[in-house]
Chains A and B, each alone.
Chain A
Amino acid sequence: DAGVIQSPRHEVTEMGQEVTLRCKPISGHDYLFWYRQTMMRGLELLIYFNNNVPIDDSGMPEDRFSAKMPNASFSTLKIQPSEPRDSAVYFCASSFGRNNQPQHFGDGTRLSIL
């Protein structure tokens, strides 16, 4: 079975540009999570969705960050405008059901903002 698929795997762009990260969760999963990983802050939860509805976006660092889930098989994380401090690895994860079911992670997007 296909796991969580993220694209692109690597993104290098200049400060001020818009960046869009994409995620396809595992089919049938009803929870989707976006995380950011940096050396300084470790793994941080940014936002998560249940049945395509955002449940908790308290981890989104600034208004420059936005996330959408237009349908059960696709989500985007957008940064506009991007800044060098946004450089990190961004992970998407999905899970099925309540009561803390295992989260399955994609292989991430390594984002570098110059």
Chain B
Amino acid sequence: GENVEQHPSTLSVQEGDSAVIKCTYSDSASNYFPWYKQELGKGPQLIIDIRSNVGEKKDQRIAVTLNKTAKHFSLHITETQPEDSAVYFCAASTDSWGKLQFGAGTQVVVTP
């Protein structure tokens, strides 16, 4: 089955700097790659997603890139703010039913 690895496990950045989280996947049939943000005591919330027919997608300060050849995708957060502090999860799906395999998560801390 699909295996998703996520790095780093923790990331500390100064407010205003950029943060980058990287994920690799094992199954070349994966075609959908969402990113979720989870705040303490809450459920994961989708922040951006990308499909295999697109190489890059951007939404304000957040962008995701996908390299199908290398089987990796990354989340980029620019101009980080304290409210960006949370745990971020990447995921991959090989089918259209929505069955997601999640990475282990990255704890992001933005310090003022």
Contacts and interface: CB of A to CB of B under 8 A. Distances in A.
User: Do the two chains bind?
Assistant: yes
B89 A43 contact: yes
Interface stretch (B36-44, B58-66, B68-76, B78-86): B36-44
Nearest to A102: B46
A105 B98 contact: no
Contact of A107 (B42, B46, B100, B101): B42
Q: Which size class do B's interface residues fall under? A: 20 to 34
A71 interface: no
A100 B46 contact: no
B44 to A, nearest CB: 5
Contacts of A44: 102
B103 to A, nearest CB: 8
Contacts of B98: 31, 33, 48, 95, 98, 100-101, 103
Given A43-B44, A100-B32, A100-B51, 16 more contacts: A31-B98, A42-B102, A42-B104, A43-B102, A55-B97, A91-B44, A93-B43, A95-B98, A98-B96, A98-B97, A100-B31, A100-B49, A103-B100, A104-B46, A105-B43, A105-B44
Interface of B: 31-32, 34, 36, 41-46, 49, 51, 89, 93, 96-105
